[in-house]
Amino acid sequence: MKSRQWLLARRPTAEITPDHFEMVERDIGEPDTGKGEILVKHQILVCAPAMRGWMQADRPRFVPGIDPGDPIMALGGAKVVKSANPAFPEGSRIRCVGAWQEYQVLDPKGAGCELIEDDLSLADAIGIYSTNALTAYFGLLKVGEPKQGETLVVSGAAGSTGSVVVQIGKIKGLRVIGIAGGAEKCGWVLDDYGADAVIDYKNENVAERLAALCPDGIDVFFDNVGGDILQAAVDNIAQYGRIVLCGQISGYDADRPAPGPRDMMQLVYGSIRMQGFLLYDYFRDFDQGRTDLRHWVDSGLIKHREDIRPGFENLPETYAALFNGENRGSLLALLDEEALRKPER
Ligand SMILES: NC(=O)c1ccc[n+]([C@@H]2O[C@H](COP(=O)([O-])OP(=O)(O)OC[C@H]3O[C@@H](n4cnc5c(N)ncnc54)[C@H](OP(=O)(O)O)[C@@H]3O)[C@@H](O)[C@H]2O)c1
C-alpha cells in the first residue's frame, strides 16, 4: 500500500514556511494481524501550535519530536479502511495521533485511537470536543481555580482554545476580559463569545488597558501567548492571583523562546501562583470534560468557529496561518469532505 506523506525537510529556526516540508509517496505496508493494527484514511487533521515546537530540537518537547525526514505527527480524525483489531472495525471513525499522510497503518494503543460518537461529524469530534476545548476546560477550572465574581483575563481570546476559556469563564460567573489581534477578532470576543471587555493588542497598549479595566487587579490570567502580554498581565495581577501558563505562541515562530516576566519579586510579594500544565495531565477526566462541553454547546452557551481549509497539498500553507493570526477559528485541514458530515443512521 502506498500513500502520500509530508515529511520535515529541514528544521525551522524562525518563521515556518512551506519549504520546511517535503511531499513524498511511500510504501506504508499493511496492518499486522498479530499486532492488531489498523489501516486508516485520514479525513481531517488538527493544526496545533505545539507541533511547531516538536520540529525544533533546541526547545523543550513533551513528545519524542519530529526530526528531518520524519512524517509530521498530528492529531486527526480518520476512517478505518482495513482492520486486524475487533475494537476498531472496518468503517469505524476514530480520533488518533496520526501524521500528515493520506493513509497510515496504526497501532491503536500507541496512536491513542478512540471511536467517535455516532452523532458527531469528525470535524466536531476533533474540533469542539477535542484537545483545545478540553485544554480550555481543565486549564481554567483545575489550574486557574476561578471563583464566581473574579476577574479573568484571557490572551489569544479569539482562538480555538482562548474562545472556549472566555465562554466557560462567563458560564462560571466571572468578569472576563479577552485580548486578541485586530478589530474583527475583537468583535467575536465581545459579541459572539460574550466577554465583558476586549483589548486589541495590535492597536492598543495592553498594560495601560489592563490597568484601566482591572483597577483591583486580575484574579486569573489564562495565557496562550507569553512575552509582552504575559508581562503586562503580571504587572496588573491581584494579590493571590493565578497565572495559567497554557502556551507561549508569541515565541514559537521566533528565533528565540518568549521571555519570562522580568521581575519575579512581583510574584513573591503578591503571593501569586504561576502554573504550567499539559492537557494530558487530566487524561482520566476527559469524559467529564466532554460531557460538560457537550451540554454547554447543545444549550447554546458555547459557540465555536472552525477554519477548515481543504487540500492535502496545501498542508504547509494551511499550518503557517496559526502564526500570522490568519486563522479564523480552530484551524483544521480537510482531506475528505466526508469528515464534515454526521454518519447516516
Ligand atoms: N498546555 C496544553 O496542553 C495546550 C493544549 C492546546 C493548546 N495549547 C496552547 O494554546 C495556545 C492556542 O492554541 P490554539 O490551537 O487554540 O491556536 P489559536 O489560538 O486558534 O490560533 C493561534 C492564534 O495565536 C495568536 N498569535 C499568533 N502569534 C501571536 C503572537 N506573536 N502574539 C500574540 N498572539 C499570537 C493569533 O491570534 P490573533 O490573531 O488574536 O493574534 C492566532 O490566531 C497555544 O499557545 C498552544 O500552544 C496548550
Question: Is 199 found in the same domain as 159?
Answer: yes
Question: Is 149 found in the same domain as 56?
Answer: no
Question: Is 227 found in the same domain as 276?
Answer: yes
Q: Extract the C-alpha cell encoding 285.
A: 477526566
pLDDT attached to residue 60: 76
Measure Cα distances from 22 to 17, 129, 313, 329 in Å. Answer: 11, 31, 10, 26
Question: Is 167 found in the same domain as 229?
Answer: yes
Is 233 within 8 Å of 152 (Cβ atoms)? no
Predicted confidence pLDDT, tens digits, the chain (345 residues) = 999 999 999 999 999 999 999 999 999 999 999 999 999 999 999 999 999 999 988 777 778 899 999 999 999 999 999 999 999 999 999 999 999 999 999 999 999 999 999 999 999 999 999 999 999 999 999 999 999 999 999 999 999 999 999 999 999 999 999 999 999 999 999 999 999 999 999 999 999 999 999 999 999 999 999 999 999 999 999 999 999 999 999 999 888 899 999 999 999 999 999 999 999 999 999 999 999 999 999 999 999 999 999 999 999 999 999 999 999 999 999 999 999 999 887
pTM of the full structure: 0.97
Residue 116 is part of a domain; what is its CATH number? Answer: 3.90.180.10
pLDDT attached to residue 344: 81
Question: Is 258 found in the same domain as 273?
Answer: yes
Question: Is 256 found in the same domain as 274?
Answer: yes
Could you tell me the distance, in angstroms and rounded to a whole number, from the CA of residue 278 to the centre of ligand 1? Answer: 14
Q: Which atom of ligand 1 is nearest to the CA of 181?
A: 40
Domain presence at residue 95: yes
**Pairing label, strands 273-276, 175-180:** unpaired
Measure Cα distances from 339 to 6, 45, 104, 332 in Å. Answer: 20, 10, 17, 11
Question: Is 334 found in the same domain as 276?
Answer: no
Buried b (16+ CB within 10 A) or exposed e, 96-130: bebbbbbbbbbebeebebeebeeebbbbbbbbbbb
Domain presence at residue 298: no
pLDDT attached to residue 63: 81
Residue to probe by mutation, ligand 1, list 62, 224, 253, most atoms within 8 Å of CB? 224
Could you tell me the distance, in angstroms and rounded to a whole number, from the CA of residue 161 to the centre of ligand 1? Answer: 7
Q: Is 185 in the pocket of ligand 1 (CB under 6 A)?
A: yes
- Domain enclosing residue 79, as ranges: 2-127+304-340
Residue 230 is part of a domain; what is its CATH number? Answer: 3.40.50.720
Question: Is 272 found in the same domain as 253?
Answer: yes
Question: Is 320 found in the same domain as 189?
Answer: no
Q: Is 322 in the pocket of ligand 1 (CB under 6 A)?
A: yes
Question: Is 190 found in the same domain as 206?
Answer: yes
Residue to probe by mutation, ligand 1, list 161, 198, 201, most atoms within 8 Å of CB? 161
Question: Across the chain, which distance is largest between two alpha carbons, in Å?
Answer: 64
Q: Is 321 in the pocket of ligand 1 (CB under 6 A)?
A: no
Question: Is 194 found in the same domain as 121?
Answer: no
Structural domains counted in the chain: 2
Could you tell me the distance, in angstroms and rounded to a whole number, from the CA of residue 179 to the centre of ligand 1? Answer: 12
Question: Is 185 found in the same domain as 107?
Answer: no
